[in-house]
Amino acid sequence: MTVEQRPTVRRRVLGANLRRLREDNGLYLEDAAEQLSCHAAKVSRIESGRSGIRQLDLRVLLDLYGVKDAAEREGWLALARESRRQRWWRVLEDRLPQDFLDLVGLEDEVYECRGFQPAIVPGLFQTRSYATAVIQGGSPGTLDESQETKLRVRLERQKALTRSDPAPLKVWMVLGEAALRQQVGGVGVLREQLLHLVEVAQLPNVTLQVLPFTAGACQGGPYPFLIYSFPPPAELEVVLLENFASHAYLETREDTVRLGGAFDHLRATALSALKSEALIVEIVNELKNA
């Protein structure tokens, strides 16, 4: 009996794009199943991300869907190979909620992230001390086992910024000025965090802008969001909305276009990267004298 796997982000993306190819060709599940000599239910599981797909079967489907370009075919095959690779966080599946595992999977598997965080430094940029204070949520004492796991994963996620294979994650982040002034963990922790932001912003794959208090109202309102982009052949974007208890993922083109427009408005309104760095350094100096 085949054990149905929990869908990973990359398997969902692969499956969704295979479904798109099939529908663009005017074919039904049964047509694909006939080529693979299997039941339509198996094709449905592949397209929903609940099952992986063998390289041989993928080649058959690419032939059926008319994908002939060698480079494009290799992109599809690479996506399938990656979807079956064991990820470092899988050993933590029983200790982390699924939506958080999806977040980790996104940052490990996409090539670009754009986003807005109005009130807190995003996890990809957090120092250990700042992350600890965020996870504690103002509670005193040491981290419990669950919190320690969250801290470990948060720091591990940051390796995406400097990884070599695949290429480092490209990040374009707009931070609200409040994120630079909220004294999470105290003055010393915040000052260390801001200095780290200046350092991270020097990476060639990172662009950091600050939306100052003087900017006024902006598209999207005061709500954080992240837009993750997959490399070809996926050509798919996923929007992440975070709230206090969970994460929500929006995958329709309508949502990604709408939030993409909001991000473009935010980055056009925010300070330039150079002026943003100057403001961060200014706040660091203020904290030094606090």
Q: Where are the alpha helices (DSSP H) in the chain?
A: 9-24, 29-36, 40-48, 55-64, 70-84, 98-109, 128-136, 145-157, 177-181, 187-200, 253-269, 273-288
CB 83 within 8 A of CB 102: no
Quote the pLDDT of residue 251: 75
State how far the Cα of 189 lies from the Cα of 130, in Å rounded to an integer.
6
Q: Which residues contact 41 (CB under 8 A, 6 or more apart)?
A: none
How does residue 265 score in pLDDT terms, banded at 50, 70 and 90? Answer: very high
| Average confidence (pLDDT) over 64-93 | 75
Q: What mean pLDDT, rounded, does the chain reach? A: 86
Quote the pLDDT of residue 65: 95
Report whether pLDDT(149) > 90: no
| Average confidence (pLDDT) over 236-265 | 84
State which of 13-22, 98-107, 131-140, 175-184 shows the largest mean pLDDT. Answer: 175-184
| pTM, two decimal places | 0.79
The answer to which of 92-106, 151-165, 248-262 has the lowest mean pLDDT is 92-106
Residue 245, helix vs strand vs coil: coil
**More confident of the two residues 29 and 253:** 29
Rounded to 5 degrees, φ, ψ at 281 are -65, -40
Report whether pLDDT(85) > 70: no
State how far the Cα of 240 lies from the Cα of 45, in Å rounded to an integer.
24
Instruction: Convert the pLDDT of each residue in 34-46 to its tens digit.
Output: 999 999 999 999 9
How does residue 150 score in pLDDT terms, banded at 50, 70 and 90? Answer: confident
State how far the Cα of 81 lies from the Cα of 246, in Å rounded to an integer.
29
Quote the pLDDT of residue 87: 59
CB 254 within 8 A of CB 105: no
Quote the pLDDT of residue 132: 95
- DSSP string over 52-80: ---HHHHHHHHHHTT---HHHHHHHHHHH
